[in-house]
Amino acid sequence: MDIQDMRIFARVAAVQNLSAVGIELGLTPGTISKRIQSLEDELSARLFDRTTRSIRITEEGAAFLAHVERILSEIEAARASVDDKVSRPKGKLKIAAPACLGRRYVAPALCDFVRAFPEIDVQVDLHDRQVNLQEDGYDVAIRTGALSDSSLIAKRLAPDRHVVAASSAYLARAGRPLMPQDLVHHQCLVLGETRQWSFSKDGVESTARVNGALRSNNGELLCRAAVDGLGLIRASELEVLCELRSGKLVQVLTDYEVATNAALWALYPSAKHLLPRMRALLDFLAEWFRDAKSGTTIPAVSTLAVVAESANVVPRAKVQLGAG
């Protein structure tokens, strides 16, 4: 049984689109169809129900898929055991990351990563929707916040501490809040439906219900509004690190911890964890973001400001940056 046929079968089962799998693997839809047909002939079983508009895996196909995924995983692990001993990490990695975080941090991080591992080709897509790693063909997704239950492996890259901040102009006009209860008298920039801001101090928790004239599902937009003096923002420290360092934003309520269990995560399928290129990426990002929080990776705000202006300013052709 041909290994490539099994790979094609697994991708068709995940994507359910012959043309999409053909583009991914560099084959025509007709070739994909013939390879599936060849596999079905060998097994004497129909793996997919196909019409001109859709393709759906059969019961027999689903049973076969479970074995195929395990076989392909074992093959990858076997190759990794050799690669790890005789060569540097190499191959391709496809990464998804949130847009704002991607422009500010993932782009420079991956430029450093490619310089350190020149035999690894990297593609990173920036968008705020949550991707399905298997169906969308990603090796790893970088996410922030609290994670929902998932079959994916999650590697914690860095704590995602949240802060409350505003521009000096806003604070001069509206005053500086000294405790969470003061927020009810302020214009607060609300992300999504998060109108309850929770805090803790000396083990005592408190909550403030906030309101403001501007609400958005985009943190980058709210950061810009805060810099423009429109109100207080509660945000990931990573998302406003440039503005805090440059003085465009000033942190308030520094005696309080913003209550959150959020962190920066790298999510990946369990079948990929043994690959040297994946291990190299995860270890590199964990070290890079740790240094970023301490200020050693990002020595100047101006460097990140340039990256934030254009997601396509990447000094190596091997890093492909896309935005969705």
The vertex-109 CA angle with 90 and 216, nearest 5°, equals: 125
DSSP class of 149: P
Q: How far apart are the C-alpha atoms of 230 and 46, rounded to whole Å?
A: 61
pLDDT in tens, 260-296: 767 788 988 875 556 788 889 999 998 888 776 565 4
The vertex-155 CA angle with 151 and 160, nearest 5°, equals: 115
Residue 209 has pLDDT above 80, yes or no: yes
Q: How confident is the model at residue 146 (pLDDT cuts 50, 70, 90)?
A: low
With tokens 């009810």, the residue in question is 184
Residue 303 has pLDDT above 60, yes or no: no
Residue 234 has pLDDT above 70, yes or no: yes
The contacts of residue 263 (CB under 8 Å, 6+ apart) are 144, 145, 146, 156, 157, 158, 159, 160
Task: Over range 52-75, report the average pLDDT.
Answer: 88
Helix axes 107-116, 276-294, angle to 10 degrees: 130
CA distances from 213 to 111, 216, 230, 244 (A): 39, 10, 9, 23
Q: What domains can be seen in the chain, in order of their start residue?
A: 3-85 (1.10.10.10), 89-160+262-323 (3.40.190.10), 162-258 (3.40.190.290)
Q: How confident is the model at residue 230 (pLDDT cuts 50, 70, 90)?
A: very high
Q: How confident is the model at residue 241 (pLDDT cuts 50, 70, 90)?
A: confident
Helix axes 107-116, 301-309, angle to 10 degrees: 100
Residue 321 has pLDDT above 50, yes or no: no
Is 309 or 199 the better-scoring residue by pLDDT? 199
Is 77 or 136 the better-scoring residue by pLDDT? 136
Residue 318 has pLDDT above 50, yes or no: no
Q: What is the pLDDT of residue 233?
A: 96
In percent, the amount of the chain with pLDDT more than 90 equals 36
